[in-house]
Chain A
Amino acid sequence: MTGLKRSARGAARPATAVRAVLAASVLFAVAACSGGAIAANNQLSSGQSFVEGSYSSTFYQPGSRPQAPAVTGKTLTGQRFSLAAQRGHVVVLNFWGSWCAPCRQEAPRLAALSRHFQGADVRFFGVDIRDSVPTAQAFDQTFGITYPSINDPADEVALAFHSTLPPDGIPSTLVIDRSGRIAARVVGEVSYSGLQALIDQVLAGKS
């Protein structure tokens, strides 16, 4: 607001004008601190309070697949989980939360897909974010999800992906190939056929 006063006086005298320009620039600095993101995730319009994924689906050719990090954790039922131990199998890793509406919409599709690929060399895992264990278990029961989910209240799994492909929002799904590299990623809710095609593609791959 000081910029306002200064500029009003600044028109008259050169010295003040110089200060006005300086004040303007300082004001800029302030503005930019808080206004850097013009096209950022705008939570405001929907008023929700979490970073929501906007739909995008990416398939990585075998030559350009980033290595998935070491991920360990405890599942909702208290089992130990290690991503490295899944080496040799295609892994579908879905980040979700029971409070997240798009996650709830895609949940039946994931449940169906996990049944569809039963017997194939695909293992489904969930990463449950910002839920307590009982709340998350109720979610699984609602949607008939039988594959295990890692309970990740401290965001350790998301953080493990920090230097490769951190999930951009929730929901977010990764398909990891048999040699432990990230082969596909879906940000936003998955479609049944879309994710099925991605998994089929990774299954068909030699590696």
Chain B
Amino acid sequence: MADQNSTVAGQAGLAEHDGGTAPGADAAVAAAGSAQEATGRRGPKLGAVGWLRWGWRQLTSMRTALVLLFLLALASIPGSVLPQQGIDPAAVSQYYAAHPTLAPLLAKLSLFDVFGAPWFAAIYLLLFTSLAGCVLPRAYRFARGVRQPPPRAPRYLGRLPQTAQFTVAMPADQALASATAVLRRRRFRLRSDDGWTAGEKGYLHEFGNLLFHVALLGLLASVALGGLFGYKGNRLLIDGQTFANTPTALDVFRPGRLVAPSDLQPFTVTLNRFTASYVMSGPQRGEPLSFNGAVSYTSRPGGPSRTYNLQVNHPLNVDGVQVFLIGHGYAPVIKVTDGTGQVSFDQPVPFIPIEQSGLSSAGVIKVPDASPQQLGFAGIFLPTAIDVNGRLASAFPAAIYPRLSLVAYAGNLGLNNGVPQSVYSLVTRQMHKLPVAPRPLAPGQSITLPHGLGKLTFVGYRQWMSLAITYDPGQLPALLSALTALAGLILSFLIRRRRMFIRVTGDGSGGSVVAVGGLTRSDAAGGFEVEFAELTEEIRTALQASQPNSGRPAGDEAAVAQAQGE
């Protein structure tokens, strides 16, 4: 009977999430499933330990895991609906610009950083615990199952799903020895005693189960490995610029818990030339054809320089770190001469695309060191400027007719009081707008600011690409674990564990009655009846062959092989 129970548990497999730890009455409490029922019972009250046990059972139950899984999926929806800081910081800045009141609120709820949000971490840590709490005891149980000897043969084999009985004309001990030899030849694991032999086969089923569970743990560990030792970063790189993989050079840096700045692989990447090509005509006009970032890189300071062509989904791999091309845009080169005649600003300023069809881009230029007053400019860069009913727009993403339209401000940029602000937004609270003709600038053109505040020149433009830098040491282990888990799963589905029992009793006249019984623990694939019939036949043939006077047909006639199904 105990045997039957374990059969059920074995078949249920993972469906019964915490089956390994909750036998008997404890399982009943867990099954009751609600606090009211558990406390509503008269009798011994649940103490602190009892409540902890109950809580643990709830957490590690299949239902909780599924609810958490559902929550996890639900929680990642905003991650695909809203722009994410870690994936596309430029898009987040755009969102800030488009929804100035809503964006800070969403940021407070970590909705621009869903996968790093505390509430997201809470869900996956709970799910993590839930899974580990399920898998660990189960793996332990399977590990024990792999080494277990077969159980004793039941007294009445006739009660088993598969049975057969026949008589042979030889002493019982001799018949049992011959029959056992057959099972041994068929590589059954054997256990014998007075008058019976039990054999079991298909431990690979259990091994597969164990493999699956261990691999699942491996998967969890790999994920933790990535979370602890991995890191992510973003960097916007303008044509001709070089950056090094060090925190100060990254626009966004998200290290794992145990990542120190000196753990970053010390490579450098130089963007030699970014090129984008677009469909020039037809209905697809303006659609991107290809992006290519021709880079040269060194894997360590002073190391040899190599070249690579970065393309979308064609990352650069340096020392296990992947560098992805995730975006591109324009950076107008701006030169500002202030009121004292001093050049106080001269560099490219990355503008962020605000629409994709024409790549109109928005950006700000802050000149905090202009004298006598700080200067600020908010502008739109139009790669192919056209006039649509008096409004400027860009008709094509390539820079065919580039124009820069600016609004100028003077006053206090709010940068000197130490409060960090985005390089993509201009705080105009303490500034005043300057009366400047809204004439879009062509490369080389300037605007002269009123009140002797200086002059701005639109020198030209360069292209930039944005990069996502990812290091996840858990990636390969996770893949291997997933594959192993799959292999274990397949093994446990394909291989059934089955038991054969033989009982031999003397018939009092020198012959023996041989009873054969068979049982399978998990016959997902089916077909055990056939194997049982074959084995029985083999045993019968073997016994007859070794009969003292094989000419006598008595055994043959007496054989009653009744393979009855369930």
Contact = CB atoms under 8 A, between A and B. Distances in A.
Interface of A: 1, 3-4, 7-8, 10-11, 13-14, 17-18, 20-29, 31-52, 95, 98-102, 104-106, 129-132, 134-135, 138-139, 141-142, 153-156, 158-160, 162-170, 172, 189
B347 A135 contact: yes
Interface stretch (B83-91, B283-291, B434-442, B546-554): B83-91
A4 B70 contact: yes
Interface of B: 12-15, 62-63, 65-66, 69-70, 72-74, 76, 79, 84-87, 89, 92-93, 96, 107-108, 110, 112-118, 120-121, 124, 127-128, 131, 212, 216, 219-220, 222-224, 226-228, 230-232, 236, 241-244, 246-257, 261-262, 264, 266, 268, 270, 301, 338, 342-347, 366, 368-371, 414-425, 470, 472, 474-475, 478, 482, 485-486, 489
Given A39-B257, A104-B415, A29 B424 contact: no
A198 to B, nearest CB: 20
B257 A31 contact: no
Given A8-B70, A38-B121, A158 B246 contact: yes
Contact of A37 (B74, B107, B255): B255
Contacts of B368: 98-99, 104, 139, 142
A49 B15 contact: no
Nearest to A14: B15
B369 A138 contact: yes
A104 B415 CA distance: 7
A29 B247 contact: no
6 contacts: A29-B219, A32-B223, A40-B254, A41-B252, A98-B368, A164-B262
Contacts of B474: 29, 32
B226 A153 contact: no
The 10 closest A-B pairs by CB, nearest first: A35-B115, A105-B418, A14-B15, A4-B73, A138-B369, A155-B244, A154-B242, A132-B347, A138-B344, A37-B254
A142 B394 CA distance: 38
Contact of B420 (A33, A37, A102, A130): A102
A25 B131 contact: yes
A46 B252 CA distance: 12
A32 B241 contact: no
A39 B117 CA distance: 9
Contact of B12 (A14, A33, A189): A14
Contact of B14 (A17, A101, A104, A134): A17
A36 B69 contact: no
Contact of B422 (A29, A37, A49, A189): A49
Contact of B424 (A4, A33, A49): A49
A13 B12 CA distance: 10
Contact of B244 (A34, A38, A138, A158): A158
A24 B266 contact: no
Between A26, A28, A167, the greatest number of chain B beta carbons within 10 A of the residue's beta carbon is seen for A28
Contacts of A138: 338, 342-345, 369-370
Contact of A48 (B120, B344, B420): B420
Given A32-B223, A40-B254, 15 more contacts: A22-B485, A27-B73, A35-B121, A36-B227, A37-B255, A44-B92, A45-B108, A47-B92, A49-B89, A98-B368, A99-B366, A101-B419, A132-B347, A135-B347, A162-B264
A11 B66 contact: yes
Contacts of A22: 216, 482, 485-486, 489
B423 A50 contact: yes
Given A134-B344, A158-B246, A35 B127 contact: no
A106 B338 CA distance: 24
A153 B478 CA distance: 38
B415 A101 contact: yes
B297 to A, nearest CB: 12
Contacts of B243: 154-155
A158 B89 CA distance: 23
B287 to A, nearest CB: 26
A108 to B, nearest CB: 9
Contacts of A27: 69, 72-73, 76
Contacts of A24: 65, 69, 72, 127, 131
A134 B367 CA distance: 11
Nearest to B347: A132
A172 B15 contact: no
Nearest to A35: B115
B107 A101 contact: no
Contact of B120 (A31, A49, A169): A31
B418 A36 contact: no
Contacts of A38: 116, 118, 121, 257
A42 B228 CA distance: 17
Contacts of B115: 31, 34-35
